[in-house]
Amino acid sequence: MSNRYPDRRSTSVATESLPQTPKKRRGTSTHVNFSPFTPTKRGLGDPDVFSPIRPTRLANFAAANLTPSLSHVDDHLIKGHHCTPSVESTHPIELQKSVDQYKHVRILSGDEERPSKRRKLGALIARFDDPLFPSSVPRSSSSYRTQTQMITPASLASRSHEYVYAQQPPSTSQLLNSIEEYGIPNKIYTDPYYSSASDVPDRPREYAGLVFNLKGGESLSNLEEWAPQSGNINDSGSAIGAPLDDTDVYGWEYASSPPTPQQIRRWLMVHPIAMSQDKPRQPSQIQGPTQANPYGLVNTPAKTSKLPMREHLHMSVLSLEIFAPSREKLLPNPDEDEIMAVFYSYQDSAGPQSAQDGTFSCERGIVAVESDCMNARRIRDHKIEFVPSELDLLNRVIDLVIEIDPDIVVGWEIQASSWGYLNARAESYGLDLGDQISRAFGRRTGSGSDQWGMRTTSTFKVIGRHVLNVWRIIRAEHNFTSHAFEHVVFQLLRRRTPWYSCETLTKWYRSTSPYHTSDLLRYFSNRVVMVLEVLDVAEVVTKNAEFARVFGVDFFSVLSRGSQFKVESFMFRIAKPESFVLLSPSKQDVGKQNAAECMPLIMEPLSAFYNSPLVVLDFQSLYPSVMIAYNYCYSTCLGRVTDFKGQNKFGVTDLHQPAGLLETLQEHMHVAPNGMVYVNQDVRKGLLGRMLTELLDTRVMVKQAMKGAKDDKALRRILDARQLGLKFIANVTYGYTSATFSGRMPAVEIADSIVQSGRETLEKAIRVINSTKKWGAKVVYGDTDSLFIYLRGKTKEQAFRIGQDMAETVTSMNPAPVKLKFEKVYLPCVLMAKKRYVGFKFESPDDSEPTFDAKGIETVRRDGIPAQQKMTETCLKILFRTQDLSKVKKYCYESWTRILENRVSPHDFIFAKEVKMGTYSDKVPPPPGVTVAARRTTNDPMDEPQYGERVPYVIMRGDPDTRLVDRAVSPGELIDNSQKQLDAVYYISRVLIPPLERIFNLVGADVRSWYDDMPKALRADQPLDPISLSPRRVKKYTAATNAFKIEEHFLSSHCINCRALTLEGLCDDCRADPITTISGLLSRLRVAEDRLRDVQLICSSCCGTAPGEPVRCESLDCPWLFERKKVEGKAERLTIIGDLVEELEDTGTNTDKDNSCVSNSDDI
388 prior amide bond cis, ω within 30: no
Question: Do 563-853 and 317-443+452-538 fall under one CATH topology?
Answer: no
Q: Bridge-partner residues for 982, per DSSP? A: 956
Residue 403 burial (10 A CB sphere; 0-12, 13-18, 19+): exposed
Helix H or strand E segment including 486: helix 485-493
Q: Give the integer Cα–Cα distance in Å for 539 and 31.
A: 74
Pairing of strands 384-387, 363-369: parallel
Confidence (pLDDT) at 448: 55
Listed in sequence order, the residues at least 6 apart from 31 whose beta carbon sits closer than 8 Å to its beta carbon are 39, 52, 138, 139, 163, 244
Query: Taking the C-alpha atoms of 745, 751, 753 and 759 in order, what is their torsion angle to the nearest 10 degrees?
Result: 170
Q: Tell me, what's the pLDDT at 258?
A: 81
Q: Detail the DSSP E strand segments found in 297-351.
A: 317-323, 341-347
User: How is domain 317-443+452-538 classified at the architecture level of CATH?
Assistant: 2-Layer Sandwich (3.30)
Q: Measured between alpha carbons, how far is 750 from 1118 in angstroms, rounded to an integer?
A: 52
pLDDT digits (tens, 9 = 90+) for 442-451: 765 555 567 7
Angle among Cα 145, 151, 157 to the nearest 5 degrees reads: 110
What pTM does this model have? 0.77
Task: Name the 3-class secondary structure at 258.
Answer: coil
Q: Is 926 helix (H, G, I), strand (E, B) or coil?
A: coil
Q: Rounded CA gap, 468 and 538, in Å?
A: 14
**Could you tell me which of 82, 107, 86, 83 has the C-alpha nearest to residue 95?**
86
Q: Which CATH class is domain 563-853?
A: alpha beta
594 CB neighbour count, 10 Å cutoff: 17
pLDDT of 116 reads 40
Question: Which CATH superfamily is 854-1013 part of?
Answer: B family DNA polymerase, thumb domain (1.10.132.60)
39 contacts 136 by C-beta, under 8 angstroms:
yes
| pLDDT single digits (tens) 80-135 | 444 434 334 434 444 344 444 433 333 333 444 444 433 333 333 333 344 433 44
Helix pair 993-1000, 885-900: axis angle to 10 deg: 170
Which spans in 1001-1073 are helix H?
A: 1007-1013, 1031-1037, 1068-1072
How far lies 160's CA from each of 50, 59, 137, 149, 153, in Å?
11, 20, 7, 13, 9
CA dihedral 346, 352, 355, 360 (to 10 degrees): 40
User: What residue spans define the domains of the chain?
Assistant: 1-182+240-265, 317-443+452-538, 563-853, 854-1013, 1026-1153
Contact 59, 87 (CB under 8 A): no
- pLDDT < 70 regions, the chain: 1-166, 218-222, 226-255, 273-285, 288-314, 349-358, 443-449, 644-646, 1018-1052, 1147-1164
Buried b (16+ CB within 10 A) or exposed e, 1060-1087: eebeebbbeebbeebeebbebbeeebee
Burial class (CB in 10 A: 0-12, 13-18, 19+), 135: buried
Q: Is 871 in contact with 286 (CB distance < 8 Å)? A: yes
User: The dihedral of CA 162, 167, 172, 176: what is its sign?
Assistant: negative
